[in-house]
Amino acid sequence: MLIILFVGVILAGLISEIFSKKFISYKSVIITFSVSIVLALICIHILPEIFTSSVGKKTGLFILLGFLLQILLELMSKGIEHGHVHYDGSISKYQLLIIFLGLSIHSFIEGIPLNNFEATETVHQHNIYEKNQFSLIYFLIIIVHKLPIAAILIFFLNSINTKKTIKFTLLIIFAATSPLGALFGKNILGIFFLSEWSINFLAISTGMLLHITTVIIFEDHHNSKNKIKNILSIAAGITTGILLFSF
């Protein structure tokens, strides 16, 4: 799955580079649709799993921690995860590095739970999903979330006239961040006394994703000139998320 994620992100970036003019015109619809799928999958599958697999109120605190962590990361990334960069004027190489670093940390943390459902299943005996199915659900959330971001990264780098070598190097690094996070998580959570943190990392990642999905949906809706089209995109994404894994 990690290879699919890595290659998929690179392909999304390359396709966006080739068909950038066409993609930009549909950017808002694609982003709104994709985050609506992610939000539906989180509400239907991830949140019930988190609260079923944990004891006490600390899980909710870790979700809030992820929510707040994403706010802090956006001070670095300038909101590129939302589909645009909140920055006025030209961007220096140092500022570009900070933006990319914020985006990469976000992606790395989201990848940590990818390889850790076996550890979760060992510690928590009441999981409502089989390991393979739940792994597939979380993997789908991450890839649906990351593919549009790869396109946005390319659009942003093109807008500031980034050299091709730098642009595609950054794309490859970004594609590697979530798989590296998954490998880090598998090794660090393999340590016995840290094994119970698997559900906590999932809660943190979920909090980050909840922040991004809700901000994009509300921001795009209020800024959209065609609100009916926006509502239909949201409804289509949520419906798709509900239908996935329902049969």
Residues 105-137: tens digit of each pLDDT: 999 999 999 876 544 444 444 444 455 677 889
pLDDT for 120: 46
- 152 CB-near residues (< 8 Å, 6+ apart): 27, 31, 80, 81, 83, 84
pLDDT for 175: 96
pLDDT for 90: 76
Q: Assess whether pLDDT exceeds 50 at residue 49.
A: yes
Task: Between 245 and 6, name the one with better pLDDT.
Answer: 6
- The mean pLDDT value for 152-177 works out to 93
Q: Which amino acid is at 26?
A: Y
pLDDT for 63: 94
- The mean pLDDT value for 156-170 works out to 92
- 42 CB-near residues (< 8 Å, 6+ apart): 141, 206, 209, 210, 213
Mean pLDDT of the chain: 85
pLDDT for 99: 93
Per-residue confidence band for 178, with pLDDT thresholds at 50, 70 and 90? very high
* pLDDT, tens digit, 9 for 90 and up, residues 62-109: 999 999 999 999 999 888 887 767 666 678 888 999 999 999 999 999
Cα distances (angstroms) measured from residue 8 to each of 5, 37, 135, 167, 210: 5, 18, 17, 17, 23
Between CA 184 and CA 111 the distance in angstroms is 9
Instruction: Identify the DSSP state of 57.
Output: S
pLDDT for 221: 62
Q: Percent of the chain, pLDDT > 90?
A: 51
Euclidean distance between the first and final Cα of the chain, in Å? 22
Between CA 172 and CA 121 the distance in angstroms is 32
- 73 CB-near residues (< 8 Å, 6+ apart): 102, 105, 106, 208
Token pair 């939000």 in the structure block, residue: 39
pLDDT for 195: 67
pLDDT for 204: 94
Cα distances (angstroms) measured from residue 48 to each of 94, 127, 187, 206: 41, 10, 26, 12
pLDDT for 118: 46
Structure tokens at 129: 């999903």
Give the count of beta carbons closer than 10 Å to the beta carbon of residue 21: 7
Structure tokens at 194: 């840290």
* pLDDT, tens digit, 9 for 90 and up, residues 220-234: 666 667 778 888 999
Q: Assess whether pLDDT exceeds 90 at residue 203.
A: yes
- The mean pLDDT value for 29-41 works out to 93
pTM reported for the whole predicted model? 0.87
Instruction: Give, in degrees to the nearest 5, the angle at Cα 84 between 135 and 208.
Output: 35
pLDDT for 10: 96
Between CA 63 and CA 245 the distance in angstroms is 24
Token pair 């140092």 in the structure block, residue: 94
